[in-house]
């Protein structure tokens, strides 16, 4: 990753690892659930239920890859910044979009094995519930007969 002049490689590496895991949470776990009259009647209409980390799942130590390699591009100058450095926060969070894309591609392969080809929608975050419903089979058809229908969470936890 290009971080400009390396001021402290250990801190930069830790920032990239931490931000990547934060992004994994963003793209695979941290789901917004709001009250509505159809699905979440127990939450006042329009009110955000998942407004803190005590109401939704966040990544934990077991979600960190065992083999996590970070490499930093050296001698990348940025003459317009302090000490020729660059910010590393947002780019490393967006690296986690690769996890979301990999999960969607895995669903696509499964769907093709089930003779379902073509486009399908998988909303972010790719929660376990959404991934299960995207992999259409005899059980998911009982819940959602149309294999192209998008199933959004109703607060399953």
Q: Please give the structure tokens belonging to residue 57.
A: 């799942």
The residue from 17, 31, 90, 147 that is catalytic is 90
Report the C-alpha gap between 10 and 89 in whole angstroms.
Answer: 15
DSSP letter string, 125-157? S--HHHHHHHS--HHHHHH-S-TTS--------
The C-alpha atoms of residue 105 and residue 83 are separated, in whole angstroms, by 41
C-alpha distances out from residue 62 to 33, 65, 67, 90, Å: 25, 8, 12, 23
Decide if 31 is catalytic. Answer: no
Q: What residues act catalytically?
A: 90
């Amino acid at each position: 990753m290009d971080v400009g002049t390396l001021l402290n490689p250990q801190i930069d590496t830790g920032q990239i690892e931490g931000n990547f895991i934060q992004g994994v949470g963003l793209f695979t776990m941290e789901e917004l659930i709001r009250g509505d009259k159809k699905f979440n009647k127990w939450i006042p209409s329009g009110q955000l239920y998942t407004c803190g980390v005590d109401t939704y799942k966040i990544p934990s130590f077991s979600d960190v890859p065992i083999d996590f390699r970070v490499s930093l591009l050296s001698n990348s100058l940025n003459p317009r910044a302090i000490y020729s450095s660059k910010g590393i926060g947002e780019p490393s969070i967006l690296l986690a979009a690769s996890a979301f894309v990999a999960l969607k591609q895995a669903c696509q392969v499964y769907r093709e094995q089930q003779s379902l080809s073509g486009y399908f929608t998988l909303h972010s975050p790719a929660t376990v519930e959404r991934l299960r419903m995207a992999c259409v089979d005899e059980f998911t058809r009982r819940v959602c007969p149309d294999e192209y229908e998008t199933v959004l969470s109703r607060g399953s936890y």
